[in-house]
Amino acid sequence: MSEGRRRRARPIVGSAVLLILLAGCGSDDAPALSPPPADTACDVGDIRGTYLYEVQGAGGADTTPYLEVGLLVADGRGGVRGVGTGSRHHQESTTRWTLRVEDTCRATLTPEDPALAPLEATLAPGGEELTWFVVGATGVTDQPLLDGAAERVDDTTQPRCDSATLTGTYLYRARGEYGGRAHVEQGFEVYNGDRVVTNAFRVAGSRLDGRLLGEYQFLDDCHAVVVYENGQVLHQYVSPDGERFNWIQTDGFSAPGYFGGTERRVSMSTEPAFVLGGVGPVEPTAPADPAS
């Protein structure tokens, strides 16, 4: 890709119809709220399996934009483990939470580490999606403004991937900034299923149109690392079926910043000629400085 390699959150609709019958003046009877319908109620057992997640925002007094991507694995009994990489330290970390769910499909994620803030979450009935934000301390003005979203991509709690998981042509979109300048990028990537990736990209606001070749390998928990010929490095978190993944750049920056994106498979073809404009394999072009 260029300089940096350079969810939908389904609305949860709840309704309560309050019917007040005035049989006469002076009635002390208060109307009772009915329990939520079965198809809109939530339970801790709904949150089970493997989820792809993304977090965006800024942390408290530090107004630097923040991006994080990773995997959540929930056991269906309230235990949640998160493995992800963020733009602040560019290193993978693991966090564990205890999930408490209300009938109203609101939930709290309490971290095992007392130094971390809890999360307030909203769940989709059935547990296919969840969104959350960081809960700050009362009376503190410099609150972390971080929000996240996750979507279930597998029903198992032990995701497994290998090189062949990433096979085919993927459409991607990415955004971030370098040296204080916004950077937006779109393109295709072709994964051959055997550790080689071809990238064809376009950059918004410029005529930059380039090609890059790279090599990828999987570590654990469907976590892959991609290294491009120009030294740029991505950490990717992949659905076990290989249909989609989120990524973040961790190395190869020419200016301070952050950069990340999401990709979805649009074809099983591993022929790069399509994304290269029909001209077949070419030598990768050196990325241009987005400030130029």
Q: Where are the domains of the chain?
A: 39-154, 163-267
- Residue 117 pLDDT grade (very low, low, confident, very high; cuts 50, 70, 90): confident
- Residue 15 pLDDT grade (very low, low, confident, very high; cuts 50, 70, 90): very low
Whether 39-154 and 163-267 share one fold: the answer is no
CA distances from 229 to 26, 52, 112, 238 (A): 80, 27, 40, 22
Which class in CATH covers the domain with range 39-154? mainly beta
Cα–Cα nearest to 279, from 193, 205, 168, 198: 198
User: Does 2.40.128.20 match the CATH number of domain 163-267?
Assistant: yes
Residue 160 CA to residue 142 CA, distance in Å, equals 40
In the numeric block, which tokens belong to residue 37? 């319908």
Angle (CA) 251-225-182 rounded to 5° is 45
Would you state the pLDDT for residue 138?
53
Phi then psi for residue 40, to 5 deg, are -120, 5
Q: What is the pLDDT of residues 186-243, one digit of tens each?
A: 999 999 999 999 999 999 988 777 899 999 999 988 999 999 998 999 999 999 999 9
| Contact criterion met (CB below 8 Å) for 168 and 264 | no
Residues 45-54: what's their mean pLDDT?
Answer: 97
pTM exceeding the 0.75 threshold for the entire prediction: yes
Strands in the chain per DSSP E: 48-59, 62-75, 79-86, 92-101, 106-111, 119-123, 129-134, 145-154, 167-178, 181-192, 196-203, 209-218, 223-228, 233-238, 244-251, 257-267
Residue 164 CA to residue 87 CA, distance in Å, equals 28
HSE value, Cβ hemisphere, 13 Å, CA-based, for 42 = 28
pLDDT at 12 over 90: no
pLDDT at 26 over 80: no
pLDDT at 34 over 60: no
Q: What is the pLDDT of residues 243-270, one digit of tens each?
A: 999 999 999 987 888 999 999 999 999 9
Determine the residue type at 231: G
DSSP line for 120-167: EEEE-TTSSEEEEEE---TT-SS--EEEEEEEEEES-SS----GGGSE
In the numeric block, which tokens belong to residue 197? 């990736």
Place of tokens 């659905």: 239
- Residue 17 pLDDT grade (very low, low, confident, very high; cuts 50, 70, 90): very low
Residue 127 CA to residue 130 CA, distance in Å, equals 7
Residue 231 CA to residue 35 CA, distance in Å, equals 57
Greater model confidence, 60 or 74 = 74
Q: Radius of gyration of the chain from Cα atoms?
A: 22
- Residue 59 pLDDT grade (very low, low, confident, very high; cuts 50, 70, 90): low
